[in-house]
């Protein structure tokens, strides 16, 4: 089999699992792990899929005038995915353009349902090369209409467009160092810059992160710069050593490890036992297990045996702030999901308040860009909002943090642009 062909065939299957079967990107990739892809083919396959998911609307708009019928009417869908992958490699990725055409044709020929259309694949992709066609420039095409309109309503047209543009950009590798005193040392070893918030941004690191210095020793963990902020907001102005902290929706454990590294005694609660297993693996690798108790529980009903001084609720949400890392969400999330999630968040918030001692601190966070999951939530009954100020990122008028995928994390060398979209609010129990 020609080099790269196995990766392309696997990529088309993965796209089918996501776009036609509704699988998450993690589940779709996991289904291919039993195959015989080499590490280089596996990496190439992943890059093809991620880029295609990010730019799918633009790709289909580019293909539309070249096809005998609209892209969504091309049958079988596997054929359209082969075409999309060809367009991606030609117009979005560096590489041998003519090889991309040949491999796309061979991928079509290998499947009995798409083999009759191999000549069409060849003609369409060669026409793109011959005529020097470019990818349709409108990034709005990649965003579901309901999602884009919600951003326009919440933040205005300019910010909505900036979100759409930012969602197309592959994010840098961000990490949190276990021992804050070692940040400069690990920044040098990992060729990273230290953002004003303390996160290390490794803009040049690609490939297998487990092979990087310090990973196996548990000196650091991967955590987006924005995802590291809720735990910092909880700890700001407090000494958490030996403090009892409840971390709700804790897995895979980034915030739990931050709190444990500060000396807190953390009860990490998550509904998913599978995700808790991953959290426990991360705790073991970083040597922080002794400070953490894991609990499988529903965040809307579970209660600790005694009230605590600190609760961190990273609530279940639409995760639309993570589109850069999870472009499958562009194709999986539905407008109808938002109301149900907002109601669930309200229940979780009120339950979190019940866990707190009077005077205790609650931080609420969601990695969502929909205001219904953030700003629209009123101050929980029995609490007072504590404004977030004096921090590298500016708060909104109410004293909350609203972070966008294009937000500037503050690195002087230009590597600070971009982070997951988040909403963070802080409260004190009356």
Active site residues: 367
Q: How many helices (H) and strands (E) does the chain have?
A: 15, 12
Backbone angles phi, psi at 270, to 5 degrees: -150, 145
Pull the structure tokens for residue 59: 């790709």
How far is residue 404's CA from residue 397's CA, in Å, rounded to a whole number?
Answer: 16
Pull the structure tokens for residue 354: 């019940």
CA-nearest of 418, 415, 404 to 202 is 415
CA-nearest of 95, 79, 66 to 16 is 79
Could you count the other beta carbons within 10 Å of the beta carbon of residue 133?
16
How far is residue 35's CA from residue 87's CA, in Å, rounded to a whole number?
Answer: 25
Under DSSP, the state recorded for 365 is: E
End-to-end CA distance of the chain: 68
How far is residue 221's CA from residue 213's CA, in Å, rounded to a whole number?
Answer: 11
CA-nearest of 24, 26, 411 to 225 is 411
Under DSSP, the state recorded for 390 is: S
Concatenate the DSSP letters of all residues of 113-175 into one string.
TTGGGHHHHHHHHHHHHHTT------GGGGS-HHHHHHHHHHH-HHHHHHHHHHTTSPPPEEE
Please name the residues in contact with 304: beta carbons below 8 A apart, sequence gap of 6 or more.
Answer: 244, 246, 267, 355
Q: Which residue matches tokens 């596996």?
A: 42
Please name the residues in contact with 60: beta carbons below 8 A apart, sequence gap of 6 or more.
Answer: 71, 72, 84, 141
Asked whether the beta carbons of 415 and 205 are under 8 A apart, the reply is no
CA-nearest of 254, 173, 241, 182 to 207 is 173
């Amino acid at each position: 089999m020609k080099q790269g062909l196995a990766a392309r065939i696997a990529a088309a299957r993965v796209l089918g699992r996501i776009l036609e079967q509704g699988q998450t990107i993690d589940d779709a990739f996991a289904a291919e792990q039993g195959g015989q892809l080499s590490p280089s083919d596996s990496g190439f396959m992943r890059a093809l899929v991620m880029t295609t998911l990010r730019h799918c609307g633009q790709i289909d708009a580019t293909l539309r005038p070249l096809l005998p019928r609209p892209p969504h009417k091309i049958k079988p869908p596997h054929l359209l995915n082969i075409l999309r992958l060809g367009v991606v490699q030609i117009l979005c990725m560096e590489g041998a353009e003519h090889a991309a055409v040949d491999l796309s044709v061979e991928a079509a020929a290998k499947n009995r349902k798409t083999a009759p259309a191999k000549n069409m694949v060849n003609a369409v992709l060669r026409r793109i090369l011959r005529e020097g066609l470019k990818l349709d420039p409108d990034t709005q095409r990649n965003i579901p209409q309901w999602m884009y309109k919600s951003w326009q309503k919440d933040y205005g047209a300019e910010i909505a467009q900036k979100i759409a543009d930012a969602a197309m950009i592959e994010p840098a590798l961000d990490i949190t160092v276990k021992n804050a005193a070692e940040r400069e040392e690990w920044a040098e070893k990992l060729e990273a810059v230290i953002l004003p918030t303390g996160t290390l941004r490794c803009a040049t690191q690609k490939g297998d992160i487990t092979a990087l210095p310090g990973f196996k020793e548990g000196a650091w963990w991967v955590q987006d710069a924005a995802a590291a902020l809720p735990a910092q907001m909880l700890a700001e102005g407090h000494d958490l050593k030996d403090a009892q902290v409840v971390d709700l929706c804790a897995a895979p454990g980034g915030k739990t490890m931050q709190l444990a590294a500060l000396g807190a005694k953390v009860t990490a609660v998550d509904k998913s036992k599978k995700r808790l297993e991953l959290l426990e693996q991360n705790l073991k690798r970083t040597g922080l297990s002794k400070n953490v108790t894991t609990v499988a529980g529903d965040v809307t009903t579970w209660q600790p045996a005694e009230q605590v001084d600190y609760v961190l609720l990273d609530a279940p949400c639409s995760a639309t702030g993570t589109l850069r890392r999870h472009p499958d969400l562009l194709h999986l999330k539905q407008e109808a999901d938002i109301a149900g999630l907002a109601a669930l968040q309200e229940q979780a918030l009120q339950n979190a308040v019940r866990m707190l001692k009077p005077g205790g601190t609650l931080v609420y966070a969601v990695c969502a860009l929909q205001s219904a999951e953030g700003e629209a939530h009123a101050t929980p009954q029995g609490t007072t909002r504590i404004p977030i100020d004096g921090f590298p990122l500016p708060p909104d008028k109410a004293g909350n943090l609203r972070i966008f995928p294009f937000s500037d994390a503050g690195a002087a060398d230009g590597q600070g642009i971009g982070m997951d979209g988040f909403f963070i609010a802080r409260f004190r129990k009356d």
